[in-house]
Chain A
Amino acid sequence: MPKLTIDGKPVEVADGTTILEAAKEIGIRIPTLCYLEGIQAIGACRVCVVEVEGARTLVASCVMPVAEGMKIITNSKRLRDARRTVVELLLSEHDGNCQTCERNNDCELQTVAYELGIKNITFEGIKTKADVDTSTVALVRDNGKCIKCRRCVTVCNQVQAVGALFPQFRGFKTVIGPAFGKDLSTVACVQCGQCAAVCPVGAIVEQNHIERVWKALDDKTKTVVVQTAPGVRAALGECFGLPAGTLVTGKMVAALRRLGFSTVFDTNFTADLTIIEEAMELLSRLKKAVKERQPAALPQFTSCSPGWIKYVEYFYPEFIPNLSTCKSPQQMFGAVAKTYWAKKVGKKPDEVFVVSVMPCVAKKFEATRPEMNSSGVQDVDAVLTTRELGRMIKQAGIDFVSLPDETVDRVLGTSSGAADIFANTGGVMQAALRTAYEVITGRELPFENLYIEAIAGMEGIKEASVTITDTVPEWSFLEGVTMKVAVAHGLGNANRLMEKIKSGESIYHFVEVMTCPGGCIGGGGQPRFTTDAVRKSRIKAMYKEDSGKKVRKSHDNPKIKQIYGEFLNMPLGEKSHHLLHTKYTSRSRV
């Protein structure tokens, strides 16, 4: 444990800790534009330079490990001048039109330039030109705004194991992007938007749907309904200065009504519906394998996360049969809203305009998949990220923090606690097991407060097993079977898990994968900046929402019973098959 001083303050940290991290521990913030927590730093931006006594030059604190007896200075004239020079150089070629930039007021370059007190840019040079790539439905890239910090490259390659982005060409011509600087649509990109979540500037942002939604709200011929994913309510408050993990469910509903949505529903309702369908699908696969001794695609993979779906389609097409055929809750909602609910209120599918609010960027892609029109028209018309909803609320001049709490509308709004935890890594699995176990045994899942601790935390790959005993007669063939499940979040972890499954090293019955680290609460569409501490706060909030609900299991949701009674008839039935299930497409990786 080396001992050192930073700005005169003594500190003792573990071997291998960098100066930047050591400073953070004692409350000293060193500015940086490229550092990403928990990931091998590369020292690209040079903003984090510090003075180390005895060192010939300034050192980048994000890559320099501490050593015994080091004396470090983080604030001096020399450092302020050096940092200013670095940032001025970045600004000298940055295509910065701050007022019209998507990241205005939410930009790390803008912030650091302000903090350093940069008044004018002394260097005159060639500016990078705006070079906007709108080729994909979920993301927009602009090389003109890119400062080449490589955070997106790190996230895309190391965290997500996708590798769509990499530095291309050389010197001043360097661009960060797909192979040979071509459009994003030409490569295997899963549209998870983690690049947009970590980009310090406006170089990668989501495709903005705000104007599309305003237009629908102004259109008198449309009935505009909105659904909100569970992960949004634990993060939306951050757009208004509330701490991460503040649950704002009631205020969010109130804000949506004030924006003009005639009906405010909840994706949670179809999350419960997903659980019924997905749990029954798992049981039918188990029945096929165990009782009928027929080949069945096991493990079954969850299918709620559209980035993960696209990842399988690109990188593991041989596992497509293992993906649950259940649509995600967003798409089940669209299909049900434009059929079941539309009929209830006497509307045709094309008179209903469905808006989703999602913590996700890939949901924008999912909504436009050609399969997603089982109502006869596109089931979900527009997808807003949490960030976009925050911005709409601001546009409308709503004082969010002072709003009263309101509750969602009936039928497609009622939900169980199991639906809330869909937003957390391990949550879909817990929700599914709460239902599946009870179907098989007639008893509640035997875990305290229905929590399976082993699959709840932030570890990348988690496992659990449940041994089935004393089944109800219908499922007696599962007597004594130990059901093995695994959970992965972040596609890099999913990749490691898939390799284990592929090689036969690990055998499971059911696997949950969420594209983003932490699950949907850490989605590409959430307010910036999502650190692990933020993820944990949001996860805690979702568990709190779950445990506070009277109904904790999807199959106990009375409105779910009602929709099966009135409309769907039975899980995995004819209507379900048409409206709630889907198919996938094998895609080429290069």
Chain B
Amino acid sequence: MIEMKCDCGSEINERDLVKQLDAILDEYRGKPGALIPVLQMSQKMFGYLPESVLKRISLELGKPYSEVAGVVGFYSFFSTVPRGRHLVRVCLGTACYVRGGKQVLEAIKKNLGIDVGETTPDRNFSLEVARCFGACGLAPAIMVDDDVHQRVKPVKVGEILNQYLTKKTKKGKKSAGKKGAGK
């Protein structure tokens, strides 16, 4: 997978990004099951899925735009609005829900001062809810960027979020749980 971190708010690399998107599309054109991986890579590159990118994907993969939109709208992983530098996703799947996921969400909302689907004014964090990262045994779980944090207590959310304000790379410290889950 292409290692590209979006520097949100900057348009500098737009042209390079489109070039990279075209390279991906060239690789996947005509292959069955191409849509979701292409969307994932595009989101990683652009930080979100702008309309122009989705339309390009639709044309190049020969998929109706309604279908591309349908897939993007179905999976909470995809976003069509720009996100903050770090994406916080709170699992409200069955296991997390019954073990207090909702309280964790409330605590994070309060801590960041934003609602679900919003981004903090300093563009550090975006907040979303999700359904199951596959970490049900250690519920409730949240994900910040690619890190899964498990057995999260509402009082601990400030501590977890603070790590991301200082850290440059997305590689987790000890407290970060298993990586790459839910992909």
Where the two chains meet, the residues of A that have a C-beta atom closer than 8 Å to any C-beta of B are 157, 162-170, 177-181, 187-188, 589-590
Contacts and interface: CB of A to CB of B under 8 A. Distances in A.
A248 B107 CA distance: 71
Contacts of B27: none
Nearest to A186: B65
B64 A168 contact: no
B67 interface: yes
Interface stretch (B16-24, B69-77, B98-106): B69-77
Contact of B67 (A166, A170, A188): A166
Interface in B18-77: 55, 58-59, 63-70, 73-74, 76
Interface of B: 55, 58-59, 63-70, 73-74, 76, 80
Nearest to B70: A166
B38 to A, nearest CB: 15
Given A179-B69, A187-B65, 19 more contacts: A163-B63, A163-B64, A163-B66, A164-B66, A166-B64, A166-B66, A166-B67, A166-B70, A168-B66, A168-B70, A169-B73, A170-B73, A178-B69, A179-B66, A179-B70, A188-B65, A589-B59, A590-B55, A590-B59
Given A589-B59, A590-B59, A179 B74 contact: no
Contact of B74 (A157, A169, A177, A188): A169
Contacts of A181: 73
10 contacts: A157-B67, A163-B63, A163-B65, A163-B66, A164-B64, A166-B64, A166-B67, A168-B73, A590-B55, A590-B59
Contacts of A170: 73-74, 76
A177 B70 CA distance: 9
Contact of B64 (A157, A169, A177, A180): A157
B59 A168 contact: no
B116 to A, nearest CB: 14
Contacts of A157: 64, 67
A188 B64 CA distance: 9
B70 A167 contact: yes
Nearest to A153: B66
A187 B66 contact: yes
Nearest to A157: B64
Contacts of B58: 590
B145 to A, nearest CB: 23
A554 B65 CA distance: 43
B55 A180 contact: no
A164 B65 CA distance: 8
Contacts of A163: 63-67
B26 to A, nearest CB: 19
Contact of A180 (B59, B63, B69, B76): B69
Contacts of B67: 157, 163, 166
Contacts of A178: 66, 69
Nearest to B74: A170
